[in-house]
Structure 1
Amino acid sequence: MTVTRQPASHARLLSGYVVAYIVFLYLPVVLIPLFSFNDSIQAAFPLKGFTLEWYRTLLGNEAIAAALGNSLMIAISSAAVATLCGTTIAYLDVYASTPLSSVISGLSRLPILIPGVIVGIALLILVNLLGFGPSRLAIGMGHVLICLPTTVVIMRGRFSAIPKSLAEAASDLGARDFAVFRRAMLPLAWSAVASAFMLSFLTSFDEFIVAFFLAGAEPTLPLYIWSQLRFPKSLPVVMALGTLILGVSIVLATAAEILRRWQPSQAGGKS
């Protein structure tokens, strides 16, 4: 069999395209921390000087503190519910393998394919019909729907990597289904559970479109940032806030990826 090698010029062209794409994608993100230390309200070159004034302004801003509190409360609760539901759905999809579990698994991953605007409008109609209207509860419900595909995909991948013979051995030893899940499977999947929770937390914390439709009088942090973009004098403070969010997001996303890739020893599972 003859293998045809691509010319070196094609490889260089592809490498150049990838580099240009990465620069185009991430250069604006890099500029946000740069301008957050600029001693000017205008995000433009040349830089006027170095200052920490915009970060000090964040500490005394009660509106930012309230929006941050709303985002943290919604993100933690939504991530917890989505991780619990996603773990259950993925486990049943892998180990039960019934038509019903396959249908539920497919439906749980469907929101990732639906535009956020459609999801937001549909949920707004739903919460109005239920009678509690736009509120933090409504945002939390929407974020569970948005985060669920992430948790199902991560947990399904982890459960698929665990040999089914372990569950069969536990059943042969007399363990009931819930005991098999809690004492045999879950200890081998805890790192994936933590990864799913972290990514769900980031998804909920950064989500804007669904929150835009479902927010009441208590906006989340992304909604607060969007509202401040209309005022040029608030732009440096927004960039300082964005820099902090960016840093925390990078740390959590890196930790989540490390946990997702980490495979506990199968001998460490309890029988």
Structure 2
Amino acid sequence: MKQKLPPSQISPGHADHALLSALAQDITTRAGGLMELTRSVPAMLRDCIDDVILTSKTGRRAYEDLEKTEKTYIGTRVEIELRALLRLPKGRLDTEILGHDVDIKHTMGSNWMIPTEAVDQPCILVAADEPRARCYLGLIVARRDYLTDGQNKDAKRSISAQGFEHILWLLCDQPYPANFWRLLPEAVVEGIFAGDSGNARMATLFRAVQRQPIPRDVVEAVAAQKDFMRRIRSDGGHGTRDLLARDGIVILEGRKDAQLIRALNLPHCSGSEFISAQLTTLAEARLAASAGHAGCEDFFDKA
């Protein structure tokens, strides 16, 4: 998305103010309030993108790895997920809000393509800026004056530079969960996937990425095995937990180990996330053992 957006001109007195404000209020209410909208839309976008990348089955790790048809499908997926999130019905266009036909447009780029049937109709604009991990949710009445003169082979036009001034933003430059693999140096990523077994890859992951929540789908992708959860359990001295415990590193689950995570002053983890940490004292190792994570004490005994 463009990093320099013009200020919105949607205010009392603007021809679209009353309609867009009413639609924005309805959308916000349906989401459960602005705070919930700010939480749920970014999370939804992350899921839509990751579910198409599907690292665990395809080995791909980035949006750029997708085929053209898959990139197109993300837009369809966002439309479906947004309707479900807001409990919106299907309409003559994509949906109907307060009796108005509304089109839903999504982009991973810097603009949206408006079809002829949506001209002069209100549109929900959704954008995900994957490199910057920022997202956008806005409303516009797609008037012809707000669109470019040029059109593509399907007679679709994009929003003109001046047209951006007529967008009412609900979310603008809002952070959303970054692609996990973009957060790591390429050498680290390559090192993780270089392992010749699930345990080896998992041990490298949790050794390299410590004190940072790791989503469940990342664990599944790295294990690349059906019973991926087995890879992070103790396994007769050969499991990932066993391997890392020898070096005083503990792997914790967000739901099961919430108290220990807090006691070790680690970042909050959701119920579907994991986190690893190098224990620094024998007292911490004994605390971990009392919570069911034995094995790290030996590291300090040897030291």
Shorter-chain TM range is under 0.3
Task: Select the structure that is richer in helix.
Answer: 1
Task: Select the structure that is richer in strand.
Answer: 2
> What is the TM-score with the length of structure 2 in the denominator?
0.24
Structure number with greater CO (CA < 8 Å, separation at least 6) is 1
